[in-house]
Structure 1
Amino acid sequence: MDTIKIIGLPVPVSERGHRIVIDENIRRQYGIPENCTVLMEHTASDQIRIIPSNAKPAENRIRKFISAGRFNLPKEWVEANHIKIGSFVHLVLTDIGILVCPNSLCYHAPSEVPSWC
């Protein structure tokens, strides 16, 4: 079985509240304005998913605010993943929302590479 390493868009973590800036073009893909409320959820594999606020509410989804495209990472998540100021997290665009990963993802696939949409 081959491994495909998925490296999302690297985004620097700034010192003010462990903040990241989500690029305008990425926000536009999901209909997320520059200043708005979004939904955030933790995934089973310890990533964060940012979802537009018009998505279906769920018990594990928390409302968070994006201001001027800036998103504050949860302090507990930052500490648990040893994310330092000036380091990078990776944004991966999915059909559900924006996945914030502390590092790259590995996908174990059959020997044939799947076709990507």
Structure 2
Amino acid sequence: MKQPQDDKVVVIDGWVVQQDAEGRYCLNDLHRAAGGSEQTKVWRWKSLGETAELITELKHGYPCFEPLTSKKGRYGGTYAVKELVYAYAMWMVVTVVSPAEYHLKAVKVLLRTPESYGCLGSADGALSGC
């Protein structure tokens, strides 16, 4: 796979993790990078009560920004802020026995990337107001 030129592009094991206009990361790309297991499909994680609680917590106080969004179609997918990317990666580690190596790679790559923009982006990685 050809390496992207843009320094904001995230690549994990040769898989490009797309970002939307607000800087959210495509969970579907992360799923493919982790091996694409049926057990760790994005919809399974999204249906968990814990995921809903995380999203509610992130939305609290930041009504102008959606931390998780899904887009339909050929170029669609589920896009999430970094906090939810970490939560999804941790869930995959618990759900499947062997992706700890992937989890560590994902965390290291995301720690190297510039903070998301839009309503996100404080130096400490916390959500900032809109």
Same fold (TM > 0.5): no
Q: Whose relative contact order is higher, 1 or 2, with alpha carbons under 8 Å and at least 6 apart?
A: 1
Structure 1 or 2: more strand by fraction: 1
Structure 1 or 2: more helix by fraction: 2
